[in-house]
Structure 1
């Protein structure tokens, strides 16, 4: 779920014609930094009003979905780890799991994990880009991977800006999951999904005992980003339980998340009632412990609001 600035076409003078948009290249769809190792096949390239999307098939048959040059999700092992981490902590912490709101997650992978709970009645998946949801519903490799989650009778998909949807809705949810890209100077509008004002709005959309989870990027590369998101959530009046999944040995990354609620949360109270592949008891214990090299960056935290560029500036520095 991404937001892009409108393309600017400038006029040099009254006698100069409008500049023609340049032809898009492979690098507009698959950045050099995120290009797969080895041989791969491009299955699809398309430009939507919000982003440039590419679907790539790897030599092992797995697929990756790119948004504006960078991997958004796919059918790889790290997608399973990400989904388990983002979903099962808030589902375990929430008093109920009947009604779930998902902002982002067009690939249907996190929705697949939510649907594993028998007590779930409805899952509302909100994404601004209909093409991303189309991929999650129709791309055969993704449908097999997400177990057809976006076509499940319990799931309602909404094509809309996530912030606008929540502002207009009067519903309350037991679990709210935010799975959107980081704000950047190229996508400044995403800051409104990480701001103090938005978290204040979500605070009022929780049922009693409800829990929010937020993906906070890679703490191994941008610890200030993670701490600033957490500080922003606290500034909105919510209690926060930060955690991370250290996948540096296999994937070279350490992903940060946090759970938030109107009541205090403690890792000792968590009881994941379904089987998980990656969230073992020993792993769960380590997920709530942060090394001193990360904790030292806490002093650099800043508050994201609707009117500043705190998180985009951090993203730009890294």
Structure 2
């Protein structure tokens, strides 16, 4: 081997090592260091395949990331998808909205807390008898996306601009404490409390749920989104126990997309009087809530049910839901 060839090999080796080090430093910066995306996109909820982060914003309430992947848009809050323009988002909104809407005696005045994306509002607007929808979100950025981010506006059909809809930027707890009047249906679609945002626990507490006793019309219904049943059944049962402690009858249900997305979402239907699955009659067309699907939604698998005995009640002064989230 000539001296010239040896020198060339050393040069190429040096270039390779330099590029390798720079690559490793970039990966460290991006995923663990100061430039980490993990504060914005959790490893658990990271999109499969290629994606691009269009925008990262730190708001007073959360760290928000706007992500585009394969023509779909995902809006993250504190690392987890809050809403998106995907088909599973449509499934989720149908499951959350149409069950309480189906059992409520009236559907004229609706309150949605955590509805900045406008997707749940879109589903409520399918009911012609609904006259007034109040959509509340604590984060002005989320509401701005729901009103002005064109892919999302197209997906939610401009729901937040509809004349029946009033949008409010406010903490959900504060809004309810100072609100006047009553609602026929109340929807709670809120992010889980966490170590970084423990104050969110006040939106899942027995004290908060008791406020709705005076805000819910006779024959009204409350729908509560309860995280992922398949990975955190204790979380769902604790919300049920908390609602029961606040004086409601609870019908838990789930929406299984384990085959498609490896998830099974949990929900609680809360009413003043007992409700059975046979009372659920959806009066508007839906894409995903077929009779067979509805029958499955109210059958809680044994693997989830065994955790019910350990359910604890969330209050304004404890960390029950945070501890559950941290133990998963």
Of 26, 38, 41, 1:27 maps to 38
Report Cα offsets for 1:166-200 as digits up to 9, x if no partner: 00112200000000011122221111111111111
Report Cα offsets for 1:257-305 as digits up to 9, x if no partner: 0111111111101110011111100110111111111111111101111
Residue of structure 2 equivalent to 1:121: 131
Give distance in 2, aligned partners of 1:32 and 1:161.
28
Q: CA deviation at 1:37?
A: 1.6
Residue of structure 2 equivalent to 1:153: 163
Q: CA deviation at 1:24?
A: 4.9
Q: CA deviation at 1:32?
A: 2.8
Q: CA deviation at 1:23?
A: 4.8
- Choose between structure 1 and 2 for higher RCO, CA contacts under 8 A separated by at least 6 residues: 1
Equivalent residue runs for 1:1-318 within 5 Å: 23-59=34-70, 61-318=71-328
* Contact in 2 for aligned 1:203/1:261 (Cα 8 Å): no
Closer, same or farther: CA 241–40 of 1 in aligned 2, 3 Å: same
3-state DSSP of counterpart to 2:66: strand
RMSD (CA atoms): 1.1
Q: CA deviation at 1:34?
A: 2.1
Report Cα offsets for 1:200-254 as digits up to 9, x if no partner: 1112210010100000111111111101100110001111111111110111011
Give distance in 2, aligned partners of 1:26 and 1:267.
42
Give distance in 2, aligned partners of 1:33 and 1:117.
35
3-state DSSP of counterpart to 2:38: helix
Give distance in 2, aligned partners of 1:277 and 1:203.
33
Q: CA deviation at 1:30?
A: 2.0
Runs of 4+ in structure 1 over 3 Å off: 22-25
Q: CA deviation at 1:29?
A: 2.0
TM-score (normalizing by structure 1): 0.91
3-state DSSP of counterpart to 2:52: strand
Count of aligned residue pairs for this structure pair:
296
Q: CA deviation at 1:33?
A: 2.8
3-state DSSP of counterpart to 1:293: helix
TM-score (normalizing by structure 2): 0.88
Which structure has the bigger radius of gyration? 2
Query: Which stretches in structure 2 are left out of the alignment for 5+ residues?
Result: 1-32
Give distance in 1, aligned partners of 2:158 and 2:64.
21
Query: Which stretches in structure 1 are left out of the alignment for 5+ residues?
Result: 1-21
